[in-house]
Amino acid sequence: MQEFLSAILLSSGYNTALVCIGAAILGAASGAIGVFILLRKRSLVSDAVSHATLPGVVLAFILGEILWGYGRSLPFILAGAAFSSMLGVMAVDAIKTHTRLTEDTAIGTVLSTFFALGMVLLTIVQSMSIAGQAGLEGFLLGATSGMLFSEAVTIAVASMIVGIAIVLRMKEFTLLCFDENFAASSGYNVKWLDRSLLILLVSVVVIGLKTVGLVLIVALAIIPPVAARFWTERVPVLVGISATIGALGSYIGAAISSTAPSLPTGGIIVLILFFLFLVSLLLSPVRGVLAAYIRHRRFQKIVHTRQGLLTIANGQPILEPLTRKLMIKNSYMCGDGRVTDYGFSVAQKMARDQELWNRFKELDPEAAHSLQDWSLRPIEEVLPYDVVSELETGLKPHTV
Amino acid sequence: MRMGGQKARLVAQQGEPVSAYNPDDNPFHVSGLTVAYHNKPVLWNVSYTAPKGQLTAIIGPNGAGKSTFLKAALGLIPRLSGETQVFGQPVKTALNKIAYVPQRSAVDWDFPATALDVVLMGLYGKVGWFRWPGKSHRQKAKKALQAVGMEAFANRQIGQLSGGQQQRVFLARSLAQDAEVYLMDEPFSGVDAATEKAIVEVLRQLVEADKTVLVVHHDLETVNDYYSNILMLNGQYIASGPVETAFTAQNLQKAYGGRLASTQLEGLKAKSC
Amino acid sequence: MEIFLQYDLPSILLGTFAALACGLLGNFLVLRRQALMGDTISHVVLPGIVVGFLVSHNTSSLPMMLGAGAAAVVSVMLIELIRRLGNIESGAAMGVVFTTMFALGVVLLEQTGAAGVHLDVEHALYGNLESALWLEATSLNDLLDWHKLMLLPDEVKQLFVVTLLILIVIVVFYKEFKLTSFDPLLATTLGFSPKIMSLLLIVMVAVAAVAAFTAVGSILVIAMFICPAATARMLTDKLSTQLFISGVVSLLSGVGGYILAAFGPLWLGYDFSVSAAGMIAVTAGALQVLAMLFAPRYGILTRRWQQKHSALAN
């Protein structure tokens, strides 16, 4: 605990602090880019992107060994990863557009075949018997504990650059996700925008390989935006919240993992992100499950009460259990199903209200359609007085 | 009836009798159906009893909830309230008496299945679990294809058929189901003249066999020619009954509001008289 | 021959059965646009396997199988829940669940020291196809000798049973799978619950994934759920034919991939072999690429060529 506290407060060594900050920046960048990927409904493309890095990583390592006798140069390996994952993305698009196969099949094909190719190459590396090949395993699940200072700096700086690029292009990406056709008609090159979105995704994934690992890096681009989705409907806010969640999860995860080197960093980060997701899912007052349930129950009650009263006014029996229960609870009905006098008078009033609403809808269907409260609340509470009285003059005199 | 006491009192209060309701005779009875998306009702408190052995058009403007009405009545999408009864049974236990023809866009046309395969699927309910369809089922399926003039295309993959031909295959499937109640979601949308004719012919035969048929229909011009009854919706119940009495300019105005041009309305009025 | 029987044959059998079990089921996943369910399931079973291992303290299968099955079912329900409650598209919901479950598995592995005993993440990803041995075999006749056959590694026998089970389930429920995959609405009105059929499919996928997983690794499992079915999809418009072709493709990849892995480098003059599981997946991928390019009706190049010719003819 002591260790963890000192790690989280950035006081357990320069290296650890740098790793944590680097992870946080990375988390923020991937959280932000993930929002746009989610809005374009392409979340699992990031899975193909991450798995497709493996052959590039291994090939770059082999090439480095052959050329300079040193394969572990991080920038070189990351360049290899970026190259092969771009190939992967292009393959997904090619399969999707040129064959009858669907996107999910394309993603699955690319991720498994590329990764398998990486595995084959990896066994070749093992047979080359080079010292230091063990470092490659770290790319699978991420390892921050043995990270060199220069590597930590590379990751932090690269994430920063990607983050800035996302912020600069935010307006265009928002437009792309919101209305592709409109974006095209207002002079944006949609194809290029889409591609730059994927390039940024690839960059984030590649930068995150060392910290989170290629199996789990996709979580960094998926979980934060999904969690953020529960808090807001507005894209800029969504990006902000998603980036915050990503940063928070990665920061805490990296800190924990630096104190317990046997724990894979990627795993810890993902579990913390999931916790943040769970909290959002359940408790967010905006779109959270609990809030939605309460709202739905309230709505259901309103609808059933109104319908029950209208049924009474029509002189028909009420069959539905929930409606009956509500009628009895409000003493519109006795326990044995007889309607009370009070129930009748409220029912008449409700029938009148419904008639007015119907009349309103007849005269102005568009307005009625766009009105959230149409026929859910008494009409005088929703529409201005003069409108209601005008509607009333159109109806036959009210006789009870 | 379980609410006899209440009924008596209601009659006394309102001076008109509650319509006599004998559930066993009603092939398709929906009461108090409300469906909401995101806490906003798209279909509000619809009660309706389909006339037995009649061909009924469900009409209403775009977004009136016509398809939603069919799907929710069948329990294929969640409803907020309401119940459906088929010959007095809850719909859930009486699905075998219903044949539902979905909108054409609802399936994957690239699926590896032939026209005959699709029609055969209509018979799966009779084949039962585990067993494979046999020769007699194939025969039946072929006959259904014949009825819609599609026997020549039995072994064609469904994606390679034209829109009208696909619609006819779906119709053949519902025929093969041999149900009592037929619910069809816009069978006429985007079909050629030959298909339209074929569908009308099949609908006529169904009615002759005393089946109850409800069809979501878009084209107001043909309502008079094709159907004997209508149900008019606009997010809620507007009107229903025989075409002569219910398909009136007044009801249309109610359902379509400003969306129907007045000249169009005049034309329909002239036709209906 | 003796060496082949003792060292190569068990691995080939393992790879081929795994390929077949997954490849056949994959047809329905691909048709239901749930191709990535295979990916998801093979990730989410990890925590189940680890817990099963912790409970039983050995790598033999039953507790691990049960744990994996439970994990798969829980995950599927979780995905459904997130998708519905949160109104989240299914890809993203899958992404949330499978990364979390895999992360849980990874952390459990490291935490419990299980890492030292036969179980580690690399193993889970790559499998260990080559370690299967049948040292008792001496001649081809042994292939017909029941007692000798029973001495094949447990994993081989297990996968054989699972493959057989999957075959039976597909034959018995062929009609139901076809109907619910094509038109779930009709299935509902006919009384064949699409929910039950999809659950059955997922359970079978989980069983196949787990049985294959410990032997061949999750990546081969994912590849086999998708590539053979996708290959067959390019070649035919008939479901029964598609199933048959996918079976053949699985067999070809299993046998061919292993041979390429074990002997390919030798033929090129190197004295090592490469990952068999990886090579089988790569072979399946390569076959799919061939089908996507040259399939008689739907191939990319075939269609280009046809267009050119019809243009010339006009």
Q: Please check the confidence at residue A155 and state whether its pLDDT lies above 90.
A: no
> What ipTM is given for this predicted complex?
0.91
Mean pLDDT of all residues in A222-232: 94
Q: How many helices (H) and strands (E) does chain A have?
A: 19, 0
> Please, which pLDDT band fits residue B39 given cuts at 50, 70 and 90?
confident
Strands B181-185 and B212-216 turn out to be parallel
> Please, which pLDDT band fits residue B24 given cuts at 50, 70 and 90?
low
Q: Please check the confidence at residue B18 and state whether its pLDDT lies above 50.
A: no
| B74 interfaces chain C, CB cutoff of 8 Å | yes
Whichever domain contains C246, its CATH number is 1.10.3470.10
Calculate what percentage of chain C has a pLDDT beyond 70. Answer: 95
Report the amino acid identity of residue A217: I
The chains found to touch C (3+ Cβ pairs under 8 angstroms) are A, B
Q: Which residues of A touch C288 (CB under 8 A)?
A: 109, 113
Q: Please check the confidence at residue A134 and state whether its pLDDT lies above 70.
A: no
* pLDDT score for B262: 55
Answer for the pair A216, A267: CB distance below 8 angstroms, yes or no.
yes
**Listed residue (A26, A21, A136) closest to A73, CA to CA:** A136
Q: Which residues of B touch A332 (CB under 8 A)?
A: none
* Half-sphere CA count of A227, side-chain side, radius 13 A: 30
Window 269-308 of A: residues touching B by CB (8 A cutoff) are: 295-296, 299-300, 303-304, 306-307
| Alpha-carbon gap, residue A103 to A46, rounded angstroms | 13
Are residues A375 and B41, on separate chains, in Cβ contact within 8 Å?
yes
Count of positions (residues) in chain A:
400
Most confident of A203-207, A208-212, A364-368, A388-392: A203-207
**Element at C229 (helix H, strand E):** helix C218-235
* pLDDT score for C235: 96
Q: Please check the confidence at residue C118 and state whether its pLDDT lies above 60.
A: no
Strands B98-101 and B181-185 turn out to be parallel
Mutate which of C27, C83, C100, C268 to disrupt the A interface (most A C-beta within 10 Å)? Answer: C100
Q: Which residues of C touch B177 (CB under 8 A)?
A: 190
| B164 interfaces chain C, CB cutoff of 8 Å | no
Answer for the pair B19, B7: CB distance below 8 angstroms, yes or no.
no
Mean pLDDT of all residues in A195-208: 92
> Please, which pLDDT band fits residue C233 given cuts at 50, 70 and 90?
very high
Answer for the pair C45, C64: CB distance below 8 angstroms, yes or no.
no
Place of tokens 């990764």: A115
Average pLDDT of chain A to the nearest whole number: 86
* pLDDT score for A286: 86
> Please, which pLDDT band fits residue A16 given cuts at 50, 70 and 90?
confident
Among A1-5, B157-161, C217-221, the least confident range:
A1-5
Q: What is the 3-state secondary structure (H, E, C) of C129-174?
A: HHHCCCCCCCCHHHHHCHHHHCCCCHHHHHHHHHHHHHHHHHHHCH
| B236 interfaces chain A, CB cutoff of 8 Å | yes
Mutate which of B39, B42, B47 to disrupt the A interface (most A C-beta within 10 Å)? Answer: B39
Are residues A303 and B1, on separate chains, in Cβ contact within 8 Å?
no
- Tell me how close the Cα of B86 comes to any Cα of chain C, in angstroms: 13
Q: Which residues of A touch B34 (CB under 8 A)?
A: 303, 307
The chains found to touch B (3+ Cβ pairs under 8 angstroms) are A, C
* Half-sphere CA count of A350, side-chain side, radius 13 A: 22
Window 241-270 of C: residues touching A by CB (8 A cutoff) are: 261, 270
| Alpha-carbon gap, residue B201 to B195, rounded angstroms | 10
**Listed residue (B111, B22, B105, A205) closest to C177, CA to CA:** B111
Cα torsion at A22, A27, A29, A33 (round to 10°)?
Answer: 160
Query: Could you tell me which residue, C1 or A195, shows the higher pLDDT?
Result: A195
Answer for the pair A33, A200: CB distance below 8 angstroms, yes or no.
yes
Cα–Cα distances in angstroms (integers) from residue B168 to residues B68, B105, B151, B194, B236, in the given order: 22, 14, 11, 10, 31
Q: Please check the confidence at residue B225 and state whether its pLDDT lies above 80.
A: yes
Among B38-47, C12-21, C142-151, the least confident range:
C142-151
> Please, which pLDDT band fits residue A131 given cuts at 50, 70 and 90?
low
**Element at B90 (helix H, strand E):** strand B89-90
> Please, which pLDDT band fits residue B22 given cuts at 50, 70 and 90?
low
Task: Nearest chain C residue to A257 by CA: give it.
Answer: C107
Q: Which residues of C touch B84 (CB under 8 A)?
A: none
Mutate which of C170, C190, C243 to disrupt the B interface (most B C-beta within 10 Å)? Answer: C190
Are residues A307 and B13, on separate chains, in Cβ contact within 8 Å?
no
Mean pLDDT of all residues in C164-171: 96
* pLDDT score for B263: 54
pLDDT tens per residue across span C273-292: 888 899 999 999 999 999 99
- Closest partner residue to A263 (CB to CB) among C36, C104, C107 is C107
Q: Which residues of C touch B108 (CB under 8 A)?
A: 31, 33, 182
Ordered domains of chain B (ranges, CATH): 21-272 (3.40.50.300)
3 state DSSP class of A338? coil
Calculate what percentage of chain A has a pLDDT beyond 90. Answer: 37
| B95 interfaces chain C, CB cutoff of 8 Å | yes
Are residues A123 and C219, on separate chains, in Cβ contact within 8 Å?
no
Are residues B81 and A322, on separate chains, in Cβ contact within 8 Å?
yes
* pLDDT score for A367: 80
- DSSP assigned state of A131: T
The first and second tokens of residue B229, run together, are 């009854």
| Alpha-carbon gap, residue A365 to B144, rounded angstroms | 43
> Please, which pLDDT band fits residue B273 given cuts at 50, 70 and 90?
very low
Are residues C285 and A109, on separate chains, in Cβ contact within 8 Å?
yes
| C181 interfaces chain A, CB cutoff of 8 Å | no
Q: Which residues of A touch B3 (CB under 8 A)?
A: 317-318, 337
Strands B81-86 and B29-37 turn out to be antiparallel
Query: Could you tell me which residue, C210 or B46, shows the higher pLDDT?
Result: B46
| B98 interfaces chain C, CB cutoff of 8 Å | yes
* pLDDT score for B10: 36
- Number of separate domains in chain C: 1
| Alpha-carbon gap, residue A152 to A16, rounded angstroms | 9
| Alpha-carbon gap, residue C171 to B170, rounded angstroms | 26
The chains found to touch A (3+ Cβ pairs under 8 angstroms) are B, C
Are residues C239 and B107, on separate chains, in Cβ contact within 8 Å?
no
Are residues C182 and B132, on separate chains, in Cβ contact within 8 Å?
no
| B89 interfaces chain A, CB cutoff of 8 Å | no
**Listed residue (C190, C192, C187) closest to B179, CA to CA:** C190
Task: Nearest chain B residue to A364 by CA: give it.
Answer: B257
Answer for the pair A328, A338: CB distance below 8 angstroms, yes or no.
no
Task: Nearest chain C residue to A296 by CA: give it.
Answer: C85
* Half-sphere CA count of C149, side-chain side, radius 13 A: 10
| B38 interfaces chain A, CB cutoff of 8 Å | no
Are residues B63 and A369, on separate chains, in Cβ contact within 8 Å?
yes
Place of tokens 């809620």: B236
Query: CB neighbours (10 Å) of residue C166?
Result: 22
* pLDDT score for A59: 93
**Listed residue (B44, B158, A19, A76) closest to C178, CA to CA:** B158
- Closest partner residue to C175 (CB to CB) among B107, B132, B177 is B132
Q: Please check the confidence at residue B14 and state whether its pLDDT lies above 50.
A: no
| Alpha-carbon gap, residue A351 to A266, rounded angstroms | 61
Q: Which residues of A touch B33 (CB under 8 A)?
A: none
* pLDDT score for B2: 40
* pLDDT score for A132: 57
Q: Please check the confidence at residue B21 and state whether its pLDDT lies above 70.
A: no
Query: Could you tell me which residue, C128 or A1, shows the higher pLDDT?
Result: C128
Average pLDDT of chain B to the nearest whole number: 84
The first and second tokens of residue A311, run together, are 């049924």
Q: Please check the confidence at residue C255 and state whether its pLDDT lies above 70.
A: yes
Place of tokens 């326990």: A335
| B32 interfaces chain A, CB cutoff of 8 Å | yes
| A344 interfaces chain B, CB cutoff of 8 Å | yes
Are residues C182 and B107, on separate chains, in Cβ contact within 8 Å?
yes
- Tell me how close the Cα of C150 comes to any Cα of chain B, in angstroms: 32
Place of tokens 């690992």: A213
3 state DSSP class of A329? helix
Side-by-side strand order, sheet with B40-49: B40-49, B29-37, B81-86, B89-90
Q: Which residues of B touch C173 (CB under 8 A)?
A: 130
Answer for the pair A33, A224: CB distance below 8 angstroms, yes or no.
no
* pLDDT score for A140: 81
**Residue A331 CB burial class (10 angstroms; 0-12, 13-18, ≥19):** exposed
- Tell me how close the Cα of A50 comes to any Cα of chain C, in angstroms: 12
| Alpha-carbon gap, residue A128 to C274, rounded angstroms | 12
Ordered domains of chain A (ranges, CATH): 2-284 (1.10.3470.10), 290-394 (no CATH)
* pLDDT score for C144: 78
- Tell me how close the Cα of A291 comes to any Cα of chain B, in angstroms: 13
Mean pLDDT of all residues in A169-181: 87
Q: Which residues of C touch A113 (CB under 8 A)?
A: 223, 227, 281-282, 284-285, 288
Beta bridge partners of B100: B183
Interface of C with B (CB under 8 A): 31, 33, 172-176, 178-179, 181-183, 185-192, 233, 236-239, 241-242
Are residues B80 and A303, on separate chains, in Cβ contact within 8 Å?
yes
| Alpha-carbon gap, residue B161 to A149, rounded angstroms | 64
- Tell me how close the Cα of B244 comes to any Cα of chain C, in angstroms: 33
Average pLDDT of chain C to the nearest whole number: 87
* pLDDT score for A104: 93
Among A362-366, C231-235, C276-280, the least confident range:
A362-366
3 state DSSP class of C299? coil
Cα–Cα distances in angstroms (integers) from residue A248 to residues A24, B77, C104, in the given order: 7, 39, 19
| Alpha-carbon gap, residue C154 to C61, rounded angstroms | 9
Among B73-82, C24-33, C116-125, the least confident range:
C116-125
> Please, which pLDDT band fits residue A147 given cuts at 50, 70 and 90?
confident
Query: Could you tell me which residue, A300 or C1, shows the higher pLDDT?
Result: A300
Are residues A300 and B81, on separate chains, in Cβ contact within 8 Å?
yes
Note down the domain range covering C217.
Answer: 2-313
